[in-house]
Structure 1
Amino acid sequence: MSTFALAACGGGGGFAGSGGNASSGKQTVTMLVNVTPNLSETYWRNLVAPYEKANNVTVKIQAPSGSGVSDTLPQLLAAGTAPDIVETLMANKTLAPQMLDLTDQSWVNDTPLVKEASLGGKVYTVGVGEQAQSLVYYNEDAFTKAGIAAPPKDLDEFTTDLGKLKAAGYLPLQTGGDYITGLQLLQLADPSIVAGDASWYQDVKAGKADVGQSLQPLLQRYQDWLKAGYLDKNALGLKADAAQTNFLSGKAGMYIMGSWLVSTVASTKTSFPVGAFAAPGAPGGPYPGAQGATMAAPYMVLKSSQHRDAAVALVKWLVTDHTAVTSQLKQDGDFRPGFDWCTIDLCKQVQQILTDAPATTPQGEGYGDLTLPAGFNTEFNKDAQGLYVGRSPAQVAQAVDAWVKSNS
């Protein structure tokens, strides 16, 4: 999520009785949402339709006008046409002053990752579920053909299995260009980082740890895999959708990706069963390790809203109503304890991985008080792709650390 300058908006804290609502009767609540092929405007309208009917409220779904919600919100704020609710973004030090403090709302305490996403002990963001990040999907037929009896539990075993898959005639590990290169490395790094230093984010912020130096051993492994032919040396020319298609068409043995892939697998007819396992950690470390996780479908209410009570009530419904929550989880391949929407074995496997994880850790740039400088994900992806054009792991690590220091 980008950090951007926001124009100051009026409206202090508080709900009804302190300027929270400016009108009576039927109200219109505007909600800026992420629109994707599976989260279409039609889906959003159908989602809120029962709430509108039951509560005499009109919910106006607003699609991004820019390249995404993060680009659109500052434009709307500057124009004085901000929505009442924003979905997708999470509070940071720039956004928080514009958002309503929900800490005193008792219902927020039962929502996923609410404590982890809090900022300075205050709750601005509430979500529907969790996206598991540190997952490896695999072609079960390829594993059988390669003689791999069980998924690897550490990176040494993982490397051995890559060799077995190559010998069996498969591209061992599917990757690609776009954002995939850096994302997969960070997803693979999550359990290793947390297993080695549970206060990693705090240590980086305090200058006690360097991001690039921490990741350099993994960068070295990745370069070794590249040299051994376990990765496609021309992968940077492969778009994200094409990389996904390659895996689902049976060309590769494994594919590192988040839990949203479950929905894609459920709607795709593959010629082989797809399985999933928690990303392996460092040799000698615990398995499973901490699971990289992000809040799914996060919502915030803008402090400038003229319909605060109605907006807060709608957000409460979106993240607590069983039918509404289940619908959103299923639509985007997200998970939450007590909400079982799974209809395929892969979904149940991922749900169990989240259940079995001893802890969760923020992904990439992080959220709440556990963050790296805004823009880190993009910068790391660019630097990591340097491994494909001859840069050494040490050079990549140095570039990452230089960027973090200059942007902290």
Structure 2
Amino acid sequence: MVKMGRTAAVAALAAAALALTACGGSSGSESPSGRTLTVWHYESPNSAMGKAWAEAIKKFEATHPGVTVKFEEKGFEQIQKTASMVLNSDQAPDVMEYNKGNATAGLLSKQGLLTDLSEEVAKRGWDKLLSPSLQATARYDERGVMGSGRWFGVPNYAEFVMVYYNKDMFAKHQIEVPTTFDEFTAALDKFVKAGITPIATAGAEYPAQQIFYLLALNKADRSWVNAYQLYQGEVDFHGPEFTYAAQTFADWVKKGYISKDSAGMKAEDMGVAFMSGKHPIMISGSWWYGRFQSEIKDFEWGTFLWPGSQLAPGSSGNLWVVPERAKNKDLAYDFIDITMQKDIQNLLGNSGGLPVAADPDAITDPKSKELVENFMTLSSRDGLAFYPDWPAPGYYDVLVAGVQELINGTKTPQQVLDEIARPYQDNLAEIGE
């Protein structure tokens, strides 16, 4: 959730999310019995991906008699912080969900910890199911830079960051859905005047840094995104984009749009606060969509695209990767294959996810159609800007710390920009850019 290099036609991603056909059945009959496939992922059971992957596990077991699936749910932070150590041991799973981008999957590929899937991708036709912009997050060169090179993962859903809102609270305070950034901040002001902290967020994990990035995108264009994410140009951390983001974010805290308490909150705290009706707005990714469909019962909710820019964080979803030290790689390939099949993709789509290989006519849920339509609007305008922590290894923690300092007011915006510039520039020097 928080990501990738790609200048390819992002508009193709919308078509991929709806119209690509799925591949054929897995080679389950060839799998010998008495084996165990170990699967790790960090999707909650009632999320769209959680539901789809649970069904994929059932299908795998049905098509692989005698093979046991050992599923272990891991936390996003847990995998983020321990992947290199675990994958370099005999405790590595056979297949796992992992975050895409230079700082994550790219780093592991460079370290030799992930299996090169290029041959298997061609053999099973997964490349035919994924548009160029979706493929970009799965392919890394020898430097660990995304967008070209060998395949080290397979994405099977898409994602983007949007604004979730409580329709009942908006109606109570006579606030219309904003279509411009000025209207958005006016809505925030109105909630503050009513004694309500409008935005639920989490400074201890990815959500707050995504707001920071969205604010930078207010002043950015595609060339700036490509410079920052793909190293296609120099990035000035004291230029208009990041300066505006840091200063505006700090101002939002002072104005009461964001609570100071959010510095210590995690993504789950944010989601629960929004679902409880405490805040009228939550700015986060499509990975929450299915869960909200399942769990929000006490109020009506909806979503709209960030009104400040034509750009927003987004990309293919996270990757299925196969560790180099996996014991059952053939079974891992079969499992990935199942997650790409049409019935699993249709389930993902009707559960609030963004599938890459679904039958478009099979997506019948009204809210799911709304999600897909918003995504198509964003992707058709080349609006997917990836995620702020992708460019450099360890950058996720750098941004968490920087945004927490903005929330707490312990450092000035200029000091925070100095802090986040340093590791980015160090990484560029290390890879020889």
Partner of 1:221: 248
Aligned residues of 2:313 and 2:387 also touching (Cα < 8 A): yes
- Answer yes or no: is 1:49 the counterpart of 2:58: yes
Aligned residues of 2:227 and 2:233 also touching (Cα < 8 A): no
Q: 5 Å matches for 1:87-106?
A: 87-90=97-100, 91-95=105-109, 97=112, 98-102=114-118, 104-105=122-123, 106=125
**Structure 1 residues 25, 257: CA separation in 2 closer, same or farther (over 3 Å shift)?**
closer
Shift of 1:329: 5.3
Deviations 1:11-61 (A, max 9, x none): xxxxxxxxxxxx974473623312454179998565323233334462532
Shift of 1:189: 4.2
SS in structure 2 opposite 1:131?
strand
Distance in 1, Cα, partners of 2:67 & 2:220? 46
- AA aligned to 1:130 is A
Distance in 2, Cα, partners of 1:24 & 1:322? 22
Deviations 1:165-200 (A, max 9, x none): 323443222223421322332355457544562423
Please point out which of 73, 96, 106 is paired with 1:86: 96
SS in structure 1 opposite 2:67?
strand
Shift of 1:401: 0.9
Partner of 1:18: none
Aligned residues of 1:52 and 1:59 also touching (Cα < 8 A): yes
Aligned residues of 1:32 and 1:69 also touching (Cα < 8 A): no
- AA aligned to 2:60 is Y
Q: CA RMSD in A?
A: 3.5
Shift of 1:315: 1.7
Aligned residues of 2:163 and 2:304 also touching (Cα < 8 A): yes
**Structure 1 residues 142, 402: CA separation in 2 closer, same or farther (over 3 Å shift)?**
same
Distance in 2, Cα, partners of 1:126 & 1:299? 5
Q: Is there any run of 5+ residues in structure 2 with no aligned partner, and where? A: 3-29, 142-147, 429-433
Shift of 1:110: 1.1
Shift of 1:258: 0.9
- AA aligned to 2:122 is D
- AA aligned to 1:85 is V
Please point out which of 414, 424, 433 is paired with 1:394: 414
Partner of 2:126: 107
Shift of 1:296: 2.9
Return the TM-score normalized by structure 1: 0.77
- Answer yes or no: is 1:234 the counterpart of 2:261: yes
More helix by share: 2
Q: Could you say which structure has the greater relative contact order, defined with CA pairs below 8 angstroms and 6 or more residues apart?
A: 2
Distance in 1, Cα, partners of 2:335 & 2:420? 41
Larger radius of gyration: 1
Select between 327-336 and 222-231 the one with higher mean Cα deviation.
327-336
- AA aligned to 1:384 is V
Percentage of matched positions with identical amino acids: 22
Partner of 1:183: 210
Distance in 2, Cα, partners of 1:273 & 1:42? 23
Distance in 1, Cα, partners of 2:275 & 2:329? 45
Q: 5 Å matches for 1:357-368?
A: 357=378, 358-359=381-382, 360-366=384-390
Partner of 2:78: 68
Deviations 1:303-358 (A, max 9, x none): 55565444323322222x1122334556684444645556353x332221111112
Select between 221-230 and 81-90 the one with higher mean Cα deviation.
81-90
**Structure 1 residues 212, 298: CA separation in 2 closer, same or farther (over 3 Å shift)?**
farther
Partner of 1:172: 198
Shift of 1:124: 1.9
Deviations 1:77-114 (A, max 9, x none): 44445443233344314325331232534332313612
SS in structure 2 opposite 1:299?
strand
Partner of 1:403: 423
Distance in 2, Cα, partners of 1:202 & 1:294? 12
Partner of 1:317: 338
**Structure 1 residues 229, 308: CA separation in 2 closer, same or farther (over 3 Å shift)?**
closer
Distance in 1, Cα, partners of 2:425 & 2:74? 33
Aligned residues of 1:136 and 1:257 also touching (Cα < 8 A): yes
Distance in 2, Cα, partners of 1:86 & 1:297? 10
Partner of 1:296: 317
Aligned residues of 1:132 and 1:354 also touching (Cα < 8 A): yes
Return the TM-score normalized by structure 2: 0.73
- AA aligned to 2:403 is A
Give the ranges of 4+ consecutive aligned residues of structure 1 lying more than 6 Å apart after TM superposition.
39-43, 64-67
Q: Is there any run of 5+ residues in structure 1 with no aligned partner, and where? A: 3-22, 283-288, 367-371
Q: 5 Å matches for 1:6-405?
A: 25-26=32-33, 28=35, 30-35=37-42, 37-38=44-45, 47-56=56-65, 58-63=67-72, 68-70=78-80, 73-80=83-90, 82-90=92-100, 91-95=105-109, 97=112, 98-102=114-118, 104-105=122-123, 106-111=125-130, 113-120=134-141, 121=148, 122-133=150-161, 135-153=162-180, 155-179=181-205, 180-187=207-214, 189-190=216-217, 193-195=220-222, 197-201=224-228, 205=231, 208-211=234-237, 213=239, 214-282=241-309, 289-304=310-325, 307-319=328-340, 321-328=341-348, 333-336=353-356, 338=359, 341=363, 343=365, 345=367, 347-357=368-378, 358-359=381-382, 360-366=384-390, 372-390=391-409, 391-405=411-425
